[in-house]
C-alpha cells in the first residue's frame, strides 16, 4: 500500500518521513528504505537526517564514487536509509531491484508526473513493503499527473491510463464535470493527506504571510549589457518568422540573466513582455 503526503511547503514533510523511519527501526524493522529525491536536495536530506534522526544510518548513493554491483548489494542493507536521485534511479535500476526494501519514498514526487518517462517507469518497477510520495503539488497542470503518482503508490487502483482518461481526466478538464471530480476526490482521499499553512488548526503560531515589493535598479554596466542583448534580440526578431520568433525570445533570456544577475529578477520579465509584444 502507498500514501501521498501532500502537505503545503514548510509543514515538515521531511521530518515526518524521518520520524516514520525512526519508528520502524524502534519496532525492529531492520531493512533499509530507499529515498529518491532531486539531485539538488540529496545533501539536504543527509543533513536533516543527521540533525533530526541521528540514529539512522544513512548511505548516499550518488556521484561517481558510489558503490556498484556486489559491493552495493552488500553495503546497502547495513543502513537505515539509502538516498539517491531521480537522475540515477533509472540508470541503476538493476542494482536497486536487487535490494529487499522496507519502503520507497519519493521526495518531490511530481518528478514522476509523466508516466511515460524512464524515471516514472523505474519507480513503478521497484518493490517494497510500502510506498510514500512526498509532494506539495500532487497536481500541477493536469489531473493526469495524479494518476501517475497513484499508479506508483497503488498500482491499478485508478485503472489503466486509458480508463482514467475516459472516466476522470476528460470529464474534469474538458467539461468541468463536478461529479467526476467529487468521485475522484472520494477515491483518493484515504491515500492523500494534505494540510495548508492557512489552516490554523495545523500551525496556530504561524504568523500571517507578508509580501513586500522591492525594486532594484540596474547598475550602469548592467543596463548597458542588458540593452545590447535586447537590441540584438530585436534585430533577430525582425529577421525571424513563425515559431523561430519565440526561439529568439527564449534564447535572449540566458544572456540577460548573466549580464544583469540577481537584479534582473524584476527587470527581466518587463523586458520579456516587450519582446513578446513586438513578436
Per-residue confidence (pLDDT) for residue 268, from 0 to 100: 39
Q: How far is CA 245 from the centre of its chain?
A: 31
Asked whether residue 41 carries a pLDDT value surpassing 60, the answer given is: yes
Task: Please state which architecture CATH assigns to domain 2-193.
Answer: 3-Layer(aba) Sandwich (3.40)
**3-class DSSP state of 154:** coil
Instruction: State how far the Cα of 53 lies from the Cα of 51, in Å rounded to an integer.
Output: 6
C-alpha cell at 238: 525582425
φ, ψ for residue 102, nearest 5 deg? -70, -40
Domain boundaries, the chain: 2-193, 220-278
Report pLDDT for 276.
40
Give just the sign of the alpha carbon dihedral 44, 50, 56, 62.
positive
pLDDT tier at 30, thresholds 50, 70, 90: confident
CB-based contact 147:161 (threshold 8 Å): yes
User: If you ran DSSP here, which 8-state letter would residue 109 be given?
Assistant: G
How, if at all, do strands 2-5 and 128-134 pair? Answer: parallel
Q: Is 114 helix (H, G, I), strand (E, B) or coil?
A: coil
Q: What grid cell was written down for 40?
A: 539538488
Residue reference for cell 537584479: 263
Under 8 Å between Cβ of 146 and 188: yes
Per-residue pLDDT at 134 exceeds 90: yes
If you compute the radius of gyration of the chain from its CA atoms, what whole number of angstroms results?
Answer: 23
In 10 A of CB 36, how many CB atoms? Answer: 27
pLDDT tens by residue, 180-190: 889 988 998 89
**205-245: pLDDT as tens digits:** 667 778 888 888 888 888 888 888 888 888 888 888 888 88
Amino acid at each position: 500500500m502507498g500514501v501521498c503526503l501532500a502537505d503545503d511547503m514548510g509543514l515538515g514533510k521531511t521530518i515526518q518521513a524521518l520520524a516514520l523511519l525512526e519508528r520502524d527501526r524502534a519496532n525492529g524493522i531492520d531493512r533499509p528504505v530507499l529515498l529518491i529525491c532531486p539531485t539538488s536536495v540529496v545533501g539536504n536530506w543527509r543533513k536533516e537526517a543527521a540533525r533530526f534522526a541521528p540514529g539512522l544510518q544513512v548511505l548516499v548513493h550518488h556521484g561517481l564514487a558510489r558503490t556498484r554491483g556486489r559491493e552495493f548489494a552488500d553495503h546497502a542493507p547495513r543502513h537505515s536509509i539509502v538516498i539517491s536521485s531521480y537522475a540515477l534511479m533509472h540508470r541503476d535500476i538493476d542494482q536497486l531491484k536487487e535490494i529487499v526494501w522496507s519502503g520507497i519514498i519519493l521526495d518531490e514526487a511530481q518528478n514522476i508526473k509523466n508516466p511515460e518517462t524512464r524515471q516514472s517507469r523505474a519507480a513503478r518497477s521497484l518493490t517494497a513493503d510500502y510506498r510514500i510520495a512526498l509532494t506539495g503539488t500532487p497536481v500541477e497542470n493536469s489531473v493526469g499527473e495524479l494518476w501517475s503518482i497513484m499508479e506508483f503508490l497503488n498500482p491499478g487502483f485508478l485503472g489503466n491510463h486509458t480508463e482514467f482518461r475516459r472516466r476522470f481526466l476528460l470529464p474534469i478538464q474538458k467539461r468541468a464535470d463536478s461529479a467526476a471530480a467529487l468521485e475522484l476526490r472520494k477515491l483518493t482521499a484515504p491515500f492523500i493527506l494534505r494540510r495548508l499553512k492557512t489552516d490554523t488548526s495545523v500551525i496556530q503560531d504561524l504568523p500571517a504571510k507578508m509580501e513586500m515589493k522591492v525594486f532594484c535598479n540596474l547598475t550602469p554596466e548592467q543596463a548597458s549589457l542588458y540593452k545590447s542583448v535586447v537590441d540584438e534580440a530585436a534585430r533577430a526578431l525582425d529577421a525571424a518568422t513563425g515559431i523561430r520568433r519565440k526561439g529568439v525570445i527564449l534564447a535572449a533570456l540566458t544572456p540577460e540573466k548573466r549580464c544583469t544577475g540577481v537584479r534582473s529578477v524584476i527587470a527581466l520579465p518587463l523586458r520579456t513582455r516587450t519582446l513578446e509584444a513586438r513578436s
